């Protein structure tokens, strides 16, 4: 143990002791000497806030006393011997209020709470700045994958143009298995539940809410503009079918749930920000296409650095705790030298573009009558709204003696495509528009 570590202690309050909290406590105990040497002070757990102090949480095996447990989180946060608050309890309240109390008392905060940050980053960052304290949240986006710090620090002198990624392991597991096994969404979802990849209520994952929160955080940092979850256009994967998966393969693509944060210049020459989450076709040659199972990856394009990719375990107790510990060490080092980490940067204040203005390519699948003139009628609807068709494929006859028509477009505004789809639904030669997906990761 170093001399400086012997001379000083830094108190840590741990809010929550679920899967991640338990791993954080374990690392703090098992790696105490190494952490002290790295920080220049001993990191000491002052207390652990939980809802039920009577529950067996394995403290004895960790070498911790049960007396550390408390159900009074507010009192723990306010203690004079606490320097850093680590929040891994989740939820919005009382978590937000506890973090604000911590800042008011001059404590630094480390959190993994994506939903809270996506809604209240501005308020929390302002409170941290007022207190001259740190707010760290690397674990909020992609588990062990370092994404936040590279965007905040490594690329601080560059201009980030695009951040796109697979940031939800549950949906990636489902889509990867649908592609590999050719099974329906419902079948693979049930398997994901049995294996522990999907929650009993998977709505937050499969409907894109989890990814949207992460997209809001990434866009806010990348483009120096505060973006909330409600600003993110969101679509889930529940409508993706086995037929879509097979059609994607025919176009040398796979389907992934993407979180896309993009800075672009509109027709009037003004810069705008788009943040969106939806299932999309991705060419198999794109780096994100090979990210399978429950893994995550984030792809970044910057003006000078070019293309960068970050890949790894996006969830789980130990991987997430690793990211939390990285933040805790950074916050502790700042305490030792009376310094501060990166502060919230929202100077750009770029407007958020509605989804209707976003340009991208599309995959449109429809059931049509199998007779002459159908393709011409369909093509006219695309042409009437200036949506250029790239590729047309007719698949095998459907059971009702019709045909399945699959169309890929060139880039077009989302509003124009939406209008085209509505017009197609009203054509007497179109039985149904069965799928509409975007195509991302191409240059045309």
Q: Which of 215, 72, 108 is nearest to 151 (CA)?
A: 215
199 annotated ligand-binding residue: yes
Catalytic residue among 66, 107, 130, 214: 214
265 annotated ligand-binding residue: no
20 annotated ligand-binding residue: yes
CA dist., res. 329 & res. 318, Å (int): 16
Q: Which residues of 209-246 are buried (b: 16+ CB within 10 A; e: fewer)?
A: bbbbbbbbbbbbbbbbbbbbbebbbbbbbbebebebbe
Backbone angles phi, psi at 337, to 5 degrees: -100, 10
114 annotated ligand-binding residue: yes
Per-residue DSSP letter, 343? P
309 annotated ligand-binding residue: no
181 annotated ligand-binding residue: no
206 annotated ligand-binding residue: no
Crossing angle of the two packed helices 114-131 and 209-222, in degrees rounded to 10: 30
16 annotated ligand-binding residue: yes
Q: Is 214 a catalytic residue?
A: yes
Tokens linked to 58:
């394995």
Q: Which 3 state secondary structure label does DSSP give 175? A: helix
Q: Which 3 state secondary structure label does DSSP give 213? A: helix
Q: Which 3 state secondary structure label does DSSP give 42? A: strand
E-state strands within 284-349: 295-302, 306-313
Q: Under a CB-based contact definition with an 8 Å cutoff, are residues 431 and 274 in contact?
A: no
288 annotated ligand-binding residue: no
Backbone angles phi, psi at 422, to 5 degrees: -65, -40
21 annotated ligand-binding residue: yes
Backbone angles phi, psi at 184, to 5 degrees: -75, 160
Query: Which positions make up the binding site for NADPH?
Result: 114
Query: Which positions make up the binding site for NADP(+)?
Result: 15-22
Query: Which positions make up the binding site?
Result: 15-22, 114, 199
Which residues does the annotation mark as catalytic? 214
């Amino acid at each position: 143990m170093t001399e400086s570590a012997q001379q000083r202690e830094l108190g840590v309050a741990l809010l929550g002791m679920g899967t991640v909290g338990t791993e954080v406590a374990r690392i703090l105990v098992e790696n105490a000497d190494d952490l002290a040497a790295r920080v220049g002070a001993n990191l000491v757990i002052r207390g652990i806030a939980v809802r039920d102090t009577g529950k067996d949480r394995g403290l004895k095996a960790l070498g911790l006393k049960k007396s550390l447990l408390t159900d009074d989180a507010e009192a723990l946060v306010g203690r004079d011997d606490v320097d850093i608050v680590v929040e891994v309890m989740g939820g919005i309240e009382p978590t937000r209020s506890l973090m604000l109390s911590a800042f008011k008392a001059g404590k630094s905060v480390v959190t993994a709470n994506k939903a809270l940050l996506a809604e209240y980053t501005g308020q929390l960052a302002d409170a941290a700045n007022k207190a001259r304290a740190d707010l760290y949240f690397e674990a909020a986006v992609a588990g062990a994958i370092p994404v936040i710090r590279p965007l905040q620090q490594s690329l601080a002198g560059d201009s980030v143009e695009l951040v796109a990624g697979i940031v939800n392991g549950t949906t990636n597991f489902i889509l990867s298995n649908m592609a590999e096994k050719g099974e329906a969404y419902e079948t693979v979802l049930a398997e994901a539940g049995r294996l522990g990849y999907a929650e009993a209520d998977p709505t937050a994952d499969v409907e894109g809410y989890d990814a949207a929160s992460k997209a809001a955080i990434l866009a806010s940092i990348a483009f120096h503009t505060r973006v909330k979850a409600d600003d993110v256009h969101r679509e889930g994967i529940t409508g993706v079918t086995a037929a879509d998966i097979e059609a994607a393969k025919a176009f040398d693509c796979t389907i992934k749930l993407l979180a896309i944060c993009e800075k672009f210049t509109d027709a009037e020459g003004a810069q705008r920000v788009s943040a969106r989450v939806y299932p999309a076709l991705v060419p198999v040659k794109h780096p994100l296409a090979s990210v399978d199972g429950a893994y995550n990856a984030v792809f970044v394009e910057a003006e000078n650095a070019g293309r960068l990719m970050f890949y790894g375990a996006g969830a789980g107790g130990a991987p997430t705790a690793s990211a939390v510990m990285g933040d805790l060490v950074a916050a502790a080092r700042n305490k030792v030298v009376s310094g501060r980490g990166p502060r919230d940067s929202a100077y750009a204040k770029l407007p958020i573009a509605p989804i209707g203005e976003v340009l991208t390519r599309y995959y449109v699948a429809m059931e049509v009558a199998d007779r002459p003139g159908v393709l011409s009628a369909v093509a006219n609807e695309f042409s009437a709204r200036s949506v250029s068709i790239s590729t047309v494929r007719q698949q095998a006859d459907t059971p009702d003696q019709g045909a399945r028509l699959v169309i890929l477009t060139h880039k077009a505004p989302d509003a124009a495509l939406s209008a085209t789809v509505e017009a197609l639904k009203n054509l007497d030669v179109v039985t149904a528009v069965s799928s509409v997906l975007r195509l991302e990761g191409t240059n045309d």
